[in-house]
Structure 1
Amino acid sequence: MTWATTLAKADGGAPPFVRAVLESGTSPKLLTLVMIDDGKRVLLGHKKRGFGMGYYNGFGGKVEPGETIRQAAERELQEEACIEAVDLREAGVLVFAFDDQPVAWEVHVFAASSFRGEPAETDEMRPVWFNHEDVPFEQMWADDQFWYPLLLRRAYFRGVFAFTQTTQLLWHSLTERDPGDEGCP
């Protein structure tokens, strides 16, 4: 995650807690997020309980011990939307620093344009289709409006986002990246 620290340092506007969290030496919490985009619409889940309740988001969650990041993404999509991505691809990586949490969150974003099964409501999420021009950013995490355009263009991206009081976005830095490039931003 050295790229995230480099991105935070390069910008100069990152709140001090961002660098403190990124430079703490503590491994980040690994999470996944899967976005289904058929080219005209995106499938979002309305979160019914837990962290992010009331927001629309993609489908995802924690990487469990023994799982690869990709396996976690596939499992979470099945558990939360009852579907299986056919053409799952890596879309980007987002790092989140919260002023009230000592560990950064490293979210690996995947995208797919086709899937098997029929999206169905679960105890955690209610799937809803939105046309690209109707994505409900006002009912989503504040960072989504910045990286969604890159996702919809099928560009690979990396970003660092700083939140205070869990939901208030203070700062961000986002770059469009080559997925194989591990160098400095």
Structure 2
Amino acid sequence: MLATGKGTGSGIVDWNRWTPRERGTLCFVIRDGKILLIEKKRGLGAGKVNGPGGRIEPGETAEQAAVRETEEEIGITPHPIEWAGELHFQFRDGYSLHCSVYRAEWWKGELCETDEAKPFWQEIRTIPYERMWSDDEHWMPRMLAGEKFRGWFEFDGDRMEWSRMEKV
């Protein structure tokens, strides 16, 4: 396993005892040198570019939630989806999230804008990291390269203070 850590924070979270307040998912459709992204309209990350995703409902697996959230946010059903990695977020305000990340090449249905998200295709070589959460630049290239990963991140609001990445 390869692990790296950096940032201005001290990495003060005891990740061995850490329990997330919520569990969520992200799902990225990647095909022909492009990635399907969204402009998030509401909720956590409103105004940022991200992938479709959201919270896991009681009784639902992370994989089921990733598919459901993609259907709800942009109208398509990705299939089959593949686990790409997991992200652990701790915010200074006490909020915490464990996020399972999935990827897919195929989908059914028609892409559409909803009240939650506006989807758009983006060339992989020009991903707009400056419009995304700052952690994305740490793990997204790994996902795009087919590498499985785990990441830990500490945030103060929108500002990432510490990060650690690990190859699985």
Whether the TM-score (by the shorter chain) exceeds 0.5 is yes
Structure 1 outlier segments of 4+, above 4 Å: 10-14
| Residue 18 (structure 1) aligned with residue 13 (structure 2) | yes
Partners of 1:17 and 1:100 lie apart in 2 by 14
Shift of 1:73: 0.8
Q: Please, which of 107, 122, 131 is the counterpart of residue 139 of structure 1?
A: 131
Pick the structure with more strand per residue.
2
Partners of 1:168 and 1:40 lie apart in 2 by 29
Q: Please, which of 162, 165, 168 is the counterpart of residue 171 of structure 1?
A: 162
Q: 2:108 maps to what in 1?
A: 116
Identify unmatched segments of 5+ residues in structure 1: 1-6, 178-185
Pick the structure with more helix per residue.
1
| Residue 153 (structure 1) aligned with residue 145 (structure 2) | yes
TM-score, structure 1 normalization: 0.82
Shift of 1:50: 2.0
1:72-108 CA-to-partner distances (Å, cap 9, x unmatched) read: 111001000100012200000000011111x531100
| Identity value in percent | 37
2:114 match: secondary structure? coil
Partner AA of 2:167 in structure 1: E
Equivalence map 1:1-80=2 (5 Å): 15=10, 17-19=12-14, 23=17, 26-80=19-73
Q: 2:74 maps to what in 1?
A: 81
CA contact (8 A) 2:11 2:163 kept: no
Shift of 1:150: 0.6
Shift of 1:39: 3.9
Identify unmatched segments of 5+ residues in structure 2: none
CA RMSD of aligned residues (A): 2.0
Partners of 1:12 and 1:54 lie apart in 2 by 26
Shift of 1:126: 0.2
TM-score, structure 2 normalization: 0.90
Higher normalized contact order (CA 8 Å, seq sep 6+, divided by chain length): 2
Shift of 1:18: 1.9
Q: How many aligned positions are there?
A: 165
